[in-house]
Structures are given as C-alpha cells and as structure tokens.
Amino acid sequence: MGSVSTSDRNPPVTHGPLSGLLVADFSRVLAGPFAAMMLADLGARVVKVERPGSGDDSRGYGPFLDGRSLYFARVNRGKQSVALDLKDPADLAVARSLALRADVVVENYRPGVMDRLGLGAPALLAENPRLVYCSISGFGHTGPWSQRPAYDAVVQAMSGIMTITGEQGGVPVKPGIPVADLSAGLYAFGGITSALLGRATTGRGTHLDIAMYDATVSLLEGAGLSFLATGEDPAAIGNAHFSIAPFDTFGCRDRDITICAANDGLFVTMVRALGLPRLADDPRFATNTARHAERTALKSEVEAVLRTADADHWLDVLDLAGVPCGPLSSVAEAMGSEQARVRRMVVDSGGLPGPGNPVKASGYDDPLVRPPAPALDEHGDAVRREFG
C-alpha cells in the first residue's frame, strides 16, 4: 500500500479487512483524522479533503522532524489528499461526487456547516441510502451545547475528568493525553465498522452522531459510577482506584511501582509474597470494601516493606507469585521496550516514526513500514479526474 502520484488515474491498491471501502474524510486536527486513519490502516482507501493553501490545521502543529509535522503524519498516514474550496461551486461539486460515491463520510465540522454546504447527512443519505455518515463534534448534534466550539481541553474540563485527576486535595489536572479527541475517534471507528456490518445485513447506511463530550463522560467509569450510586461528587484520589484496593502506586527504595490485587485471593497472595501474612487476617483488610475504606492504612503497611529494597526486586517477587504489577515507566521506556518492538507499536511512515496499529488481525500484514501522510493536494489532479 503506497502513495499515489498526481499523474496516476487509478486508485491505490490497499490490503486489509477493510480493503475495497472508500472513505471521504472531511475532518481536521485529531478526532476525525484519527478515526479515518484507523480505517486506512485496516485497508480502506481514504481521500482527505483539505483547505487550499493551508490544509489541515495540524500540518502546523509540532513536534517537527525534518520540517514535517509528526502530529499530522501520525493521524493521516496512508491517505490521499485533495485540496478543495467548498465555497467554490466546481470544487464543491467534486466534494459532493466523492461523498456520494463513498462508503463512509467522516466530518467534524460544527453541526449545521455541512448541511449549509449541501453535504449534510440528510441530503447525502437521500441520494445514497447505503452511505455510513459519521459526524464528530464537541457536544453532538442535539442538546443546548451543540453549537459550542470545542477543543480537547475544553471538553475535558466540562466532562468532569479533570476534577478526578491528580492528588487528593490538589488542583484539577488535565490527563497527559488528549483523551476527549482520542476516545471520540475510537468510538467513531467502532461505530463506523458496526454500521458497515449493519449495512451488509440491511442494505441501509446511517448517520452516526459522535460527541467528544459523550465519549469523555463515558470514560468517567469508577468515579461516574460512584456518583450514580451515592449522589456524592467524587474527588481526586491520586493513583488509587475508586472501588478496589490495593489498586495503586507504591513507593519502593528507588522508584514507584503499580500493584493491582483486585480480589481477596490476590490480596492474600500479595501480602504473603511481601512477608506480611498477618495482614491476611487483619479484620481491617478482610474484604475489598474494608480494604478500600482503609486503603491509606493498607498502603502504609505495604510501603513500609517495599521501601526496604529496589523496585526490580519486588517486581520479580510479585510477578513470581502471580500478582499483577509493573514499573512506572517513562514514555521513553514504554515506546523503547522490547514488548513495543515485538508488538510493532512503533512504525515508519514515509521516513517518520509513529505509533503502530494496536489492531492485530490474523491473516493480514501488520507492516513496520507504512505509507506516508500526503502532501497537501498531492493527489488532487487524480481525485478531480476520478470524481469531477
């Protein structure tokens, strides 16, 4: 699977479980491009529609390597690029032809923009009922916030996720990754593939309405469930779990490790491995509910032992006993690990490094060398000939 020159008249040959599908990608920056990249990684042909002159905003986002944006390259690899001015009737006609012939349309404009261009879901589905049309926006196409502009940090702030992140009693903290964008992209990817499966059965497409806000709220998980159960607003509790203990980071002599003993059997195994069998009979820690209520006292007991030796020693002890545990790795340690290498989680895309595809499908290649992200309008002439 490779890049196509502007002189080629034929579409690229792709390989993967989604081979043969045509995706019209009208999205920008992260959530939409990320969803469309997942489709491209699995074999779909993705034609990215960009603004003439500047293209996707993320072409100007760092980090840069050899003058190229890794941000843009990471979520646009394997796509074709055509620059179209959607306010120009001729370019709009090409965009409409592309969208009507596509199996999937992905867009992340504010609700109403695509409708005003004649590219909205109702208009396109009326002409192509088999189309799977995926809209990604900050707050969705319904509700009082539907017209609010949004970026990842805005949605994170409004979703409640910042108030449960950080140390107990500390200030709200944004997670270190754009969780609102990425979760919306993943839900979009799952929704698209599910809709394609449904289309194969019913012959009908659908309009998917994916909100970054909905996606992030759905990830509140333990904190959200705690509120629903008690009516009380949960606060940040650091690295602890909202309902399981011990399920936390613990300090050793040289560095912290994570230990997750999520049931009574694992708890007994853990304390015996650490030389603390008395804790197995301590009524304060007899059940998970009791351990969670006394998690601070339990952590003090465990850390008193862990701080007598280095992390590697205790990781070996706990791993041998079958207790889930791991070091607190840096990004360099995680991406440079042998596990990441074997799992092909760092790949080359047009000479630029980037994260690999976590979807491993037997019978299909998982290449270490991926097709590059396109230059702006790199495939414009060929796309206009094909869809003009």
CB within 8 Å of 302: residues ≥ 6 apart = 246, 250, 259, 271, 274, 276
The terminus-to-terminus CA distance of the chain in angstroms comes to 24
Give 136's strand partners.
210
285 CB-side CA count, 13 A: 27
The CA radius of gyration of the chain, in Å to the nearest whole number, is 25
The shares of helix, strand and coil residues in the chain, as percent rounded to the nearest 5, are 40, 15, 45
Scanning the structure block, which residue is given the tokens 């351990």? 291
Residues 6+ apart with CB under 8 A from 346: 335, 340, 353, 354, 355, 356
Give me the sheet containing 346-349, strands edge to edge: 352-355, 346-349, 369-370
Q: How many CA atoms lie within 13 A of 283 on its CB side?
A: 0
> Active site residue: 15, 141, 207, 241, which one?
241
Helix (H) or strand (E) holding 49: strand 45-50
Q: Is 15 a catalytic residue?
A: no
Report the C-alpha gap between 95 and 384 in whole angstroms: 9
Q: Distance between CA atoms of 349 and 333, rounded to whole angstroms?
A: 21
Calpha distance 188→215 (Å, rounded)? 10
Q: Give me the active site residues, please.
A: 241
